Amino acid sequence: MKRSPIAAALALAVLSLLAAPAQARPRHHHRHHAHHDHHRPVASVNSGLFSFFAGGDLVSRARLYLGTNPTGWSHVWCGRFMAMVAPNAAARLRNPNTARDWAALPRTSPHVGAIAVLSRGRRGGHVGVVSGFSSRGDPIIVSGNHGRLVGEGTYPLSRVIAFVSAD
């Protein structure tokens, strides 16, 4: 039976999702994240087809850039990175390059595919997409400017200002 090029591409995409590792962990450690449980197992509901159909498409887009800096900026670029992977949501913000401005989006429950807006010091912030949760309930987030690269790491739930929707 001959497949159309679209069907073949879709089948290849599904197979690559099924073959993807259940969780991607940071490739390196950072002093400011050393106390987090980077290597503690998480429920693998954020992998494979479940991830693709349940908010994981934003996670997948963000993970494409792991280990890189696609923005070209040297500092405070997590908001700019999120604007790259969630352009429709960024278009609704006053300044999508500012992490805390992402809190203006509609609130949602904590889930894979939600955008997490975090505090950093008194006025600073950080933003990324939730890719899972640790066994303690802390969000695992794919974000830009995570040790100067796009990375994936566990952040304390106490730092979350808001979980918001990109939709």
Q: Does 159 score more than 50 pLDDT?
A: yes
**42-98 tens-digit pLDDT:** 333 333 333 333 446 999 999 999 999 999 999 899 999 999 999 999 999 999 999
Residue 116 near residue 140, CB atoms below 8 Å: no
- Rounded CA-CA distance 158/167 in Å is 24
pLDDT (0 to 100) of residue 75: 87
Q: What is the torsional sign of CA 30, 155, 62, 120?
A: negative
- Rounded CA-CA distance 147/157 in Å is 19
- pLDDT average, residue stretch 4-19: 44
pLDDT (0 to 100) of residue 107: 98
Residue linked to tokens 């993970």: 63
What's the domain count of the chain?
1
Mean pLDDT across the chain, nearest whole number? 77
Q: What is the torsional sign of CA 21, 10, 141, 45?
A: negative
- pLDDT average, residue stretch 126-136: 97
Cβ neighbours, 10 Å, residue 7: 10
Q: What is the pTM of this model?
A: 0.68
Domain that holds residue 159: 5-164
CATH code, domain with 60: 3.90.1720
Q: Does 136 score more than 70 pLDDT?
A: yes
Both structure tokens of 97: 């390059």
Q: Does 154 score more than 60 pLDDT?
A: yes
